[in-house]
Amino acid sequence: MYAQMIKSEATTDDPEKLKEFQARIDDDIKVEPRDWMPEGYRKTLIRQIGQHAHSEIVGQLPEGNWITRAPTLERKMILLAKVQDEAGHGLYLYAAAETLGVSRDDLTEQLLSGKMKYSSIFNYATLNWADIGAVGWLVDGAAIMNQVPLQRTSYGPYSRAMIRICKEESFHQRQGYDIMMKMAQGTEAQKKMAQDALNRLWYPSLMMFGPSDADSVHSTQNMAWKIKMNTNDELRQKFVDQTVPQAEYLGLTIPDENLTWNEKKGGYDYSDPDWSEFFDVLKGNGPCNVDRLEARNKAWDDGAWVRDGLMAHAEKKRAAKTAAE
Amino acid sequence: MSKEWPLWEIFIRGQHGLSHRHVGSLHAPDAEMAIKNARDVYTRRNEGVSIWVVEANNISASSPSEKGPLYEPSESKIYRHPTFFDIPDEVGHM
């Protein structure tokens, strides 16, 4: 997902306090920033929310790539609005992470140094306009699958950020599907582009949910803490079941020969993505890993004088105001 | 490393005359920029008609560990709620 393979941190707190904490979570009482919480809970959340925030920010790059090349002025304005939303989503999430005691600059530096990850999906390229449609439809669609249940997560600030994000996210998926509809109903060449985008982005989208975690210890702990609400497989299944009819409506074919309706489970059987590719992308060997980090580092470095200048100006004004009083 | 911009808490009053409500936080060098940034982030879909910004370190908050002593006294005073009093139906709406 936007936060993939989050390992839960070991906790060495007082067992009595841990029991009380778990009881409150089981009762659906939200944990708030200044409440007592296990160190493991705090650290795991910083990693998860941080990774989620980084994904929103890096996720602007593949789409921003097409703002200047959108086919019409209206499409350009819509895409610009979507990319602005992603910046907002990153901000809400960074702010939620900061309530756990990590600084914004610290999180940024950990992204820029490669110490913290972002979702594997954003290391794939957007090669043509149909990819922008497919990203909105599939990538935002997959993100919604994960984010809707996270609105009920146990940590108050994270839950509130998710509620804001979900409100805005369905615009994103619809704008993607709208592009796909246009392409799929267009000329033969446009239809081919739409199918090609689906072919390339289908498996990377399935990878977003992370590998099967049915037997993962971390997953069990994170689910008990309600910072993970469903298993990766549950969400992936839901995503496939929702997406197949949408592809059919477009007249496009999901690139999976094994895709069949399974009456017994009431869902589709589908092929797993190539997990070795997933791990390779996480390691930094995806098509765009280097580009993405270079772009983020450049933006941070090139913006330093602006950040410093505004700060200096604010301090000067404050000093002048104090002197005048 | 340069200095991090201070954190501001953002409060927005919606369209319908309700009080300002906390909507989130952001970093900005000063109040003026905090308002501009809040406009860009938190009112992108007509969410508000007025913005307050408060530097986060100027906010004092009650402590979670005092929850008991702070709020327990009101729990026992159920007569503060109108439903405590039985008014006969004949009296009509009150």
Q: How far apart are CA A7 and CA A312, in angstroms?
A: 41
**Residue A10 pLDDT:** 74
Tokens of A70: 């959108």
pLDDT confidence tier of residue B1, bands split at 50, 70 and 90? very low
Give the closest-approach CA distance of B80 to chain A in angstroms. Answer: 25
Mean pLDDT of A34-50: 95
**Residue A305 pLDDT:** 96
Backbone angles phi, psi at A294, to 5 degrees: -60, -45
Give the closest-approach CA distance of B87 to chain A in angstroms. Answer: 35
Angle between helices A73-98 and A39-58 (to 10 degrees): 160
Q: All domains of chain B, ordered by start, with CATH?
A: 7-61 (3.10.20.520)
Interface touch B64/A313, C-beta < 8 Å? no
**Residue A12 pLDDT:** 77
Interface touch B64/A164, C-beta < 8 Å? no
Which residue in A36, A81, A311 is closest to B29 by CB distance?
A311
Residue A135 in this model has a pLDDT that exceeds 60:
yes
**Residue B63 pLDDT:** 83
Cβ neighbours of B50 (radius 10 Å): 10
pLDDT in tens, A163-218: 999 999 889 999 999 999 999 999 999 999 999 999 999 999 999 999 998 777 78
Judged by a CB distance cut-off of 8 A, whether residue A88 touches chain B is yes
Say which amino acid occupies A263.
E
pLDDT confidence tier of residue A23, bands split at 50, 70 and 90? very high
Residue A1 in this model has a pLDDT that exceeds 60:
no
Interface touch A91/B26, C-beta < 8 Å? yes
Q: How far apart are CA A197 and CA A129, in angstroms?
A: 9
Interface touch B5/A311, C-beta < 8 Å? yes
Interface touch B1/A35, C-beta < 8 Å? no
Interface touch A164/B24, C-beta < 8 Å? yes
pLDDT in tens, A210-253: 999 877 778 889 999 999 999 999 999 999 999 999 999 999 99
Interface touch B26/A95, C-beta < 8 Å? yes
Percent of all residues in chain A with a pLDDT value above 90, rounded to a whole number: 90
Helix extents (H) in A59-155: 60-64, 73-98, 104-112, 129-134, 140-150
- Name the residue with higher pLDDT: B1 or A285: A285
Judged by a CB distance cut-off of 8 A, whether residue A308 touches chain B is yes
Judged by a CB distance cut-off of 8 A, whether residue A320 touches chain B is no
pLDDT in tens, B12-71: 999 888 899 999 999 999 999 999 999 999 999 988 999 999 999 999 988 877 778 888
Mean pLDDT of A313-318: 93
Residue A149 in this model has a pLDDT that exceeds 80:
yes
Which residues numbered 47-66 in B keep a CB inside 8 Å of some CB on A? 61, 63-64
